Amino acid sequence: MVIYVVKPGDSVFAIAQQYGVPIANIIDANELQNQNQLAVGQTLVIPNGTRRHMVALGESLYSIGNQYGVSVDALLRANPEIPQSGIIYPGQVINIPSPIQKIGSMEVNGYTFPSIDMEVLRKTLPYLTYLSIFSYEVRPDGSLSTLNAQPLIEAAREANVAPLMVITNIEEGGSFSSDLARTILTDQEVQETLLDNIVQTLENENYYGLDIDFEYIYPEDREAYNDFLRTTRERLEPLGYAITTALAPKISATQQGLLYEAHDYPVHGALADHVIPMTYEWGYTYGPPLAVAPISEVRKVLNYAVSAIPSEKILMGIPNYGYDWTLPYVPDTAAQAISNVEAVNRAVRNGAAIQYDQTAQAPYYNYYDEAGIEHIVWFEDARSIEAKLRLVNEYDLGGVSYWTIGRYFPQNWQVLTAMYDVEKVL
């Protein structure tokens, strides 16, 4: 597979000819709605594409490899007629192999709401190891909110995907509550009731395991949260249920802030089967325009995470969305969350050229709407997904976790399966 970046004057027909693949293959792989409308700078995945290059005067395998992002060894393997000395001649035509090669295997988790379109779920399940269904909200008395999860659980198990029950300290109709978490974590009677209800739901709904997403816990409740994890493991491990926890994206053990302090990375790493660092939301709804998950920031989190948690337990968070901000940015005004597919379609409709930030490893563009108001959009494309997925191999992680899978992003799954085999536990 090749990731192609659209240039001025490109067409799907010309790109297909260049790589010697049927037009339908490109349309299908990218789920293009209109093959005649492309944005300069957008990515297309080319399945089974091989580019050919005519050697120019003064070029070497090294310079050609740099141009296409492939190694000299890869060029030699793709062109067995070239001697090992690497001697090539002007006018010679050589094959350029894809820079994306199979690396290995990993586990993949996808978060979803029960309201997901079932056709989107059906298309996504083959690429998942786990399906985390969001969420059962804990109540102050230890009971749980109800969730219509059964259709998702049945679909997941039919596809050999392990369904996970997600619990959160979200107040019904509200947001994450520090006070609610304190009640659960410090009242032993309430906690026992909660664990009884968790076990009953796991059994009755045929879940594979539990995903705990408790956020904004008071720093002084850190040890109470650790004790809750110990008690939960003691209850669930004999019953054969897996435990996953979601973690704030910390870059050090002493990081300050309500989101971070109560999340004890070493304890979670010791007690949970998997941990999910939420490595996204640097660019967020009420913040200034930024890449949602700049790779430079993701690396900082992973550098700390692998020092405190066995790397094979880590499922790195990946965002499956982007944001559209109006400019000039006014603090505390809301950006619009959009899918990665809509981000490209919006660029096409507005005649915007997509740029790529090499530091953040993320695409973005500016455009003016019908009212003459300027916007900036940051999102994910095949290049940024490839860059993130390479971190799995670099840090020897267990895999990745997507928030969320509700908006289908075909290029993501094409890149993922080109690089890794998806492991199954069912």
Q: Which residues are catalytic?
A: 215
Neighbouring C-beta atoms of residue 62, cutoff 10 Å: 12
Nearest to 291 by CA among 374, 391, 375, 362: 362
Cα distance between residue 53 and residue 44, in whole Å = 19
Q: Residue 140: exposed, middle, or buried by beta-carbon count in 10 A (0-12, 13-18, 19+)?
A: middle
232 token code pair: 């939960």
What is the four-CA torsion angle of 98, 393, 404, 304, rounded to 10 degrees? -140
Asked if residue 15 lies in contact with residue 42, where contact means CB atoms within 8 angstroms, the answer is no
The helix (run of H) or strand (run of E) holding residue 201 is helix 188-205
Cα distance between residue 130 and residue 109, in whole Å = 5
Asked if residue 163 lies in contact with residue 110, where contact means CB atoms within 8 angstroms, the answer is no
Asked if residue 103 lies in contact with residue 386, where contact means CB atoms within 8 angstroms, the answer is no
Asked if residue 281 lies in contact with residue 292, where contact means CB atoms within 8 angstroms, the answer is yes
Asked if residue 323 lies in contact with residue 377, where contact means CB atoms within 8 angstroms, the answer is yes
The helix (run of H) or strand (run of E) holding residue 322 is strand 322-326
Angle at which helix 188-205 crosses helix 178-186, to 10 degrees, equals 100
* CA 298, 131, 409, 328 torsion-angle sign: negative
281 token code pair: 């939301």
